[in-house]
Structure 1
Amino acid sequence: MIRPVTAADLPAFHTVMLAAGMDPRSSWNRTTLEGLEQSLFAPGSGGFVAVCGGEVCGCVGFRPDREDTLTLNRLATLPDMRGQDIGAALVRAVETVAAERGFRRVLLAVSQFNLEVVPYYERLGYVQANEIYAFASPGSPVPVVLVKRIVGIGSTDLDNRLAEITQKLAELKKLDVNHLIFGSEIHRYELHPPISKEQLGKTAQSFGIDFPEDYAQFLTTVGNGGAGPDYGIFSLDESLELCNTLAIGREFPHRKAWQPLVENLSDGTPRGQGKIPYYINNPVTELDRKKQRAWNEFYYDGNNSSGSMCIGEQGCGHMTLLVVCGPERGNIWVDSRATNYGITPLKKDKSGTTFLQWYEDWLDQAVEQLRGKND
């Protein structure tokens, strides 16, 4: 039986913890009854005990960490009661609390002295995250942080898709240990810690924009950049550094592929899509150079990508844009001006490709590719 912990359970809770057989170097073994009481019964905190034959045989605690995260801690079962899924039941109890309270994820930290339990948590759906544990014991080695997205009560389709992305990314990391997928040797399937909703809101307000919902929730619940298509996704700050911040709040100017016609500077012959004249990049006469300067000022003007932000690099100068203003808001475009192919939409269907569709397609294709290699 799993039930909420009470003050009367503290001695038994403490006994189960100390009986878990943790490495003597771990701060776990320095837990006192007083410290345990303060941790379990602080505002918003709590815990559960598992009762077997009338005696406490397992325990777990939790406490809030930021607005979207519930931290799981102090999970333990008596050695002779292991193998009966008591630990998993206690973890599910904490996850239920997270869902009921509207937390989007559960986070836990594993001591460097107890790394053999990491696979256990991964089987329960937790994935390693490149985050700093807010409650780490001073003087102890930096713990390994694992997180799991929680689909809450009344959750939306977007919540479900983001939770599935987290699981697929963990699978992809396991499948691609040799980094066969293009760009993975750069991001190594690691995500940066999520950004707070407050910080994201302040950024949006300062630039007068409204970030697309799927992108915003990705940043605040999955990761603020890191693993993703091609060489990965830029953090919000990196994206803003690369865009024309003076024009980001203006409407994105394109509705279809943009590659203006230019005349051949030597013979006046018009050229079309993707066929910038040779003399643009290799001027011969002074007239060529004059027209080249005029062309570059026009072609690479930041206003040609206004209302968008660069969220990733594809290689060879191709950049991934996310439109944040105008009718194309929420869709992915590709800026290939560096290779003279203009700015073009990444089309999945007539309505374009959204941020989440782009990310999901990358995951699905990469997993399918690696499963084929491993069969």
Structure 2
Amino acid sequence: MQAVDWNEVRDRTVALYARQGMGVDRRGGLPGALSETQVRQAEDQFGVTFPDDYRQYLLNVSAGGWVRTLRFDGARWDWVGARYEDHAKLHVPFPDHDSALAASDDVWESEPKREDHVSDAAYRADHDAWEEAADAAEAARTTGAVFLVDHGCAFSALLVVSGPMRGTMWFDGRATCDRLNPLLNDDRQAATFAEWYLDWLAHEESLTTPEQHHAAYRRWNAGVGTPIWLRWFDE
């Protein structure tokens, strides 16, 4: 991918927000960018270095916007709307998807049965321990990844910040299909943050009326010209 002029990206993003009636650093508008010191503080807290394109976005464009806002709440850094446990292990490498899914399936298939226990109390204790193990197995599937966009219905876009897939964007579709899928660029490779964001921005810039938005979503959902961010179930 060619070098990105992040100042130009900021200008385009600000213009898009202005067209939509939202400004910068206002409630509901585009948050301001972060300083180098602030980004380093967040990286130090999480024990990672953010992928360079996302880092440049934070420094030159915004702390948030279409993506969740990274902010300091007076005690710690985190992304607005995320749960603490979502990002407690960003320093742990994002796992191989198939291996992590298999490990999770093994736990789910081991759910205790009441008929195998001599009492309700023994069953409840065993089941409580199993639920903890199942939750841990699911959480292990997204270590090393930031829950960057909430798409609703428990769907999210993830940015991998640790491990071999560092810098790539993924879709969390576990709410319906139990899978995490890479968001593919036009070369059928996992998209980088820059590819993913610039593709979203270009599509949004081209849609200036509600009618255009509705028509575009109909095309995209039919598989025609689908933007990277919506390629949720591409294989």
Is the TM-score greater than 0.5?
Answer: yes
Query: Which residues in structure 2 correspond to 1:131-210 (within 5 Å)?
Result: 157-158=3-4, 160=5, 162-177=6-21, 188=28, 190-210=29-49
Contact kept in structure 2, 1:319 and 1:336, CA below 8 Å: yes
Normalized against structure 2, the TM-score is what? 0.63
- Structure 1 CA distance, aligned partners of 2:161 and 2:192? 11
Over 3 Å counting, the alpha-carbon distance change for 1:167 and 1:256 in structure 2 is farther
Equivalent residue number for residue 212 of structure 2: 373
Contact kept in structure 1, 2:87 and 2:145, CA below 8 Å: no
Contact kept in structure 2, 1:258 and 1:342, CA below 8 Å: no
Over 3 Å counting, the alpha-carbon distance change for 1:347 and 1:334 in structure 2 is same
Is 1:234 the counterpart of 2:81 in the alignment?
A: no
- Structure 2 CA distance, aligned partners of 1:238 and 1:173? 24
- Structure 2 CA distance, aligned partners of 1:163 and 1:241? 31
Structure 1 or 2, whichever has the larger Rg, is 1
Is 1:360 the counterpart of 2:198 in the alignment?
A: yes
Equivalent residue number for residue 318 of structure 1: 155
Deviations 1:326-363 (A, max 9, x none): 11001111223334533221111343111121111111
- Structure 2 CA distance, aligned partners of 1:258 and 1:365? 34
Secondary structure, counterpart of 1:334 in structure 2: strand
2:89 to 224, 239, 247: 247
Given residue 219 of structure 1, which amino acid in structure 2 is its aligned partner? L
Contact kept in structure 1, 2:97 and 2:180, CA below 8 Å: no
Please state how far the C-alpha of 1:212 moved relative to its aligned partner.
0.4
- Structure 2 CA distance, aligned partners of 1:205 and 1:307? 14
- Structure 2 CA distance, aligned partners of 1:245 and 1:157? 29
- Structure 2 CA distance, aligned partners of 1:257 and 1:211? 25
Normalized against structure 1, the TM-score is what? 0.42
Query: Which residues in structure 2 correspond to 1:10-159 (within 5 Å)?
Result: 157-158=3-4
- Structure 2 CA distance, aligned partners of 1:257 and 1:368? 40
Equivalent residue number for residue 133 of structure 2: 297
Deviations 1:134-191 (A, max 9, x none): xxxxxxxxxxxxxxxxxxxxxx923x1x22322322332344459xxxxxxxx85x22
Secondary structure, counterpart of 1:338 in structure 2: coil
Alignment length, in residue pairs?
187
Please state how far the C-alpha of 1:295 moved relative to its aligned partner.
6.8
Given residue 184 of structure 2, which amino acid in structure 1 is its aligned partner? K
Over 3 Å counting, the alpha-carbon distance change for 1:334 and 1:258 in structure 2 is farther
Given residue 55 of structure 2, which amino acid in structure 1 is its aligned partner? A
Highest relative contact order (Cα 8 Å, sep 6+), 1 or 2?
2
- Structure 2 CA distance, aligned partners of 1:224 and 1:195? 6
- Structure 1 CA distance, aligned partners of 2:97 and 2:36? 31
Structure with a larger share of its residues in strand = 1
Contact kept in structure 1, 2:17 and 2:30, CA below 8 Å: no
